[in-house]
Structure 1
Amino acid sequence: MKTKISYWISTSLLSLWMGLNAFFYITKPEAKALCVHFGFPDYFRIELAVAKVIGIAVLLFLKGSVKEWAYAGFTITIISGVIAHCCSGDGFPFSALLAAVILGVSYFSYHYPSRLPVNG
């Protein structure tokens, strides 16, 4: 039961985090300026926002291997964000570390029940 609670709390936090990022990519001029600062084309932030919304829907509503792809996509997004910040001279974004921890808790609590021994 604790694993299920930790899964839903961490997945909800991850979904909120990625959803707010997607919303800001579309609505905030600062997000557009940041993409320019990183050297990304303007359409990339739109694609990233759409991909994050799709990933959220997959995490919340689907099961199976497609969920693994969503976790992989979010992992790549977080790692790529860290690299973009570091390479552009912004320093290490510690918020990405928090996002990675939340992602890890969600992922491992999703898989933890399947690793428990079955008595029977």
Structure 2
Amino acid sequence: MKPKTTKILYWIFTILFALAMLGDAYGGITMQQAGKESLAKLGYPMYLLVIMGSAKVLGVIAILQTRYSTIKEWAYSGFTISFIGAFLSWTAVGTAETVNLIAPLVMLAVMFFTYYLWKKYEQVKDLSVTNTVLAGNAA
């Protein structure tokens, strides 16, 4: 895959993922009815909606920023824990609604794809910088 293609795909999928997470965060922070019903079925306290919504906003900011890679890594870790936790929570209560089991796994797959593209783009970018430096030293 060409570096430009990798960069374009990375930003397309990352922005789509970020928009999905912001939508979910908005629903949590504003305590939408669907979120309340889900938490009631799972047996979690309602204030968890606001906590998770706020964490998702911070996670989106961390993933979209380009300066601090360690913070971005932690954001990806947080989203991973959230999606796996959602899947396991729905599994534990024995939900018959397949969408509740599949949605976190789909988002986990999308997130891993953006992570993969980010790492691939970072490698290409680092290689490009190294080649430029080496070409400058050779001259």
**CA root-mean-square deviation:** 1.8
Structure 1 residue runs of 4+, over 4 Å off?
A: none
**Contact residue 7 and residue 106 of structure 1 kept, 8 A:** yes
Q: How does 1:33-72 map to 2 (within 5 A)?
A: 33-62=37-66, 63-72=68-77
Q: Sequence identity of aligned pairs in percent?
A: 28
- Larger RCO: 1 or 2 (CA < 8 Å, sep 6+): 1
- 1:74 alignment partner, one of 79, 87, 104: 79
Q: Tell me the number of residue pairs that the alignment of Structure 1 and Structure 2 aligns.
A: 120
- 2:113 alignment partner, one of 98, 105, 110: 105
Secondary structure, counterpart of 2:94 in structure 1: coil
> Which segment is superposed worse, 72-81 or 95-104?
95-104
Structure 1, gaps ≥5 residues long: none
- 1:2 alignment partner, one of 2, 5, 11: 5
The Cα shift of 1:20 comes to: 1.1
> Which segment is superposed worse, 25-34 or 108-117?
108-117
If you compute each CA radius of gyration, which structure gives the higher value, 1 or 2? 2
**Contact residue 6 and residue 105 of structure 1 kept, 8 A:** no
Structure 2, gaps ≥5 residues long: 135-139
The Cα shift of 1:23 comes to: 1.5
